[in-house]
Amino acid sequence: MPAKRLAIAVALSFPGILASNADAQTITIRIGHQSMCTDTYPAGVAIKGLHLLEKYLPHTGKYKGVSYDIVWRNYSSGAPITNMMLANKLDFGVMGDYPLVVNGAKFQQTRDARSILFSMTAYNLDGAGNSIAVPTSSPITSVKQLVGKDISVPIGSSAWGMLYEMAQQAGLKYSDFRVSNQTPMVGISAIAARKIDAHADFCPMTEYMEYKGTGRMIYSGAETKIPYLHGVVVTRAFAQKYPEIVVAYAKAVIAADRWIAENPHVASKKMAAWTMIPKEVLYLYFSQGGYLTPDPTIKAKWLDTLAYDHGLLAKYAHVPPLDMHQWVDASYLKTAYQQMGLNYAKQAGTLKNPQGDTHMPPQIWVAGKGIQQYGTNAAMFQALGKLTAKGQDIDAVYVYDAQSGLKMFGKTAWYVKDGTSIDAYLTKGEALREQKEKGGKVLSYTQLRAAA
């Protein structure tokens, strides 16, 4: 057994060998999270809103009589969380895959300080969640039309890495675009004001713009086929002093993921109340067939993905080396699974393929009545026509891309209608290619609604 895992196992079995907290009546737990990054919610917003960490924190042994001061600090991206952790002002950090890698590498660049990746939150196997958006009225429909154009992106984020992948796949170079660094909220404002040709970002910024009617997706990270991940890191100093608290945090992530998966409709409404992200956007991410699969386990494929991400960061952003074996440690999470009576190995071996969602039933979120689903897109449009004819308000319509299985807002999708069959596609170009191959007529959401 590796030394660090042996130390954890011994500490959990015989907590008395750790420094006693008999004289310390309060333990402060400082957590950096992101209320505007959907995939961090199972380890941030949901745990905070449901008070899950409080539920699992230890109160026996060396923790008997101890009280806890949980400090939540909200950030717009992962980079400032890493800076605060390095400055010993945060103990835990919740962030996306690229920022996680930077976190681990920067800690390992120091003489003694280290961080530990001990849990994931959720994932999309193909990379959906990262995307490129243009203003709604923009004539741009493909990434090749962005050559020589101004694209903003949070530099160092997973969306930034997606730009390199996108350029390579399209036979272009990163230098073909005029790339600038913008935070998510600045990018959203720039798109709305048409001050930038395109903005690349992580979840759920493009979908937020689509919902608001200010932006339109022209490229999904799902095309890269590089998994989109988020996770939680803790400083090694904190983990060594309080391993039981790290296990408690892992239990809270497990519980939050299960809560979201069991009733995404209720979860989306509650999380919308805790953030400024609309419930309709959150449902697009967390519902069955949505962008994200809640799952805290650290899968073998994720180690390959994070190593790939590090290679890109090292090449283009001069990020220092990262010893993955020293950084990643699933033992805290495995202990949490065991203590909760759950099977870690089974969950770690499970992967959700988004392409299995191509035939998922479309849905209408009827205002005040919840989610209704239909057997086909044609049946959904007929029902939508009847509902609106009666004056019923509609919160959102959801359909699935016929090729990738990507869940989309119905109003932003393009459709190919062939007789009574209606298939949905992410972009107009995708729909036109399908029409050319199989026939039919390309229609917008508005045109199909009028026909219905």
Q: Is the domain defined by 3-124+228-348 classed in CATH 3.40.190.10? A: yes
Q: Which residues contact 397 (CB under 8 A, 6 or more apart)?
A: 362, 363, 364, 365, 380, 384, 409, 410, 411, 445
59-63, 114-118, 155-159, 414-418: segment of lowest average pLDDT: 155-159
Task: Please report the beta strands in 378-431, taking only residues with DSSP state E, as ranges in sequence order.
Answer: 394-400, 407-409, 414-418, 421-425
Q: Is the domain defined by 131-224 classed in CATH 3.40.50.1820? A: no
Alpha helices in 193-242 (DSSP H): 205-212, 236-241
Residues 298/348, Cβ–Cβ less than 8 Å: yes
User: Is 347 strand, coil or helix?
Assistant: helix
Which amino acid, one-letter code, is at 430?
E
Q: Percent of the chain, pLDDT > 90?
A: 87
How far apart CA 428 and CA 145 sit, in angstroms, is 14
Q: Residue 24 has what pLDDT?
A: 57
Give me 277's structure tokens: 């992200």
Handedness of CA 369, 371, 375, 377 (dihedral sign): positive
Domains 131-224 and 355-451 equal at CATH topology level: no
Q: Residue 8 has what pLDDT?
A: 44
Q: Residue 356 has what pLDDT?
A: 87
DSSP 128: B
List the one residue out of 438, 377, 432 whose CA is nearest residue 408: 377
DSSP 401: B
Domain boundaries, the chain: 3-124+228-348, 131-224, 355-451
How far apart CA 28 and CA 72 sit, in angstroms, is 11
Mean of the per-residue pLDDT values for the chain? 93
Say which CATH architecture domain 355-451 belongs to. 2-Layer Sandwich (3.30)
Q: Residue 428 has what pLDDT?
A: 87
pLDDT at 226 over 90: yes
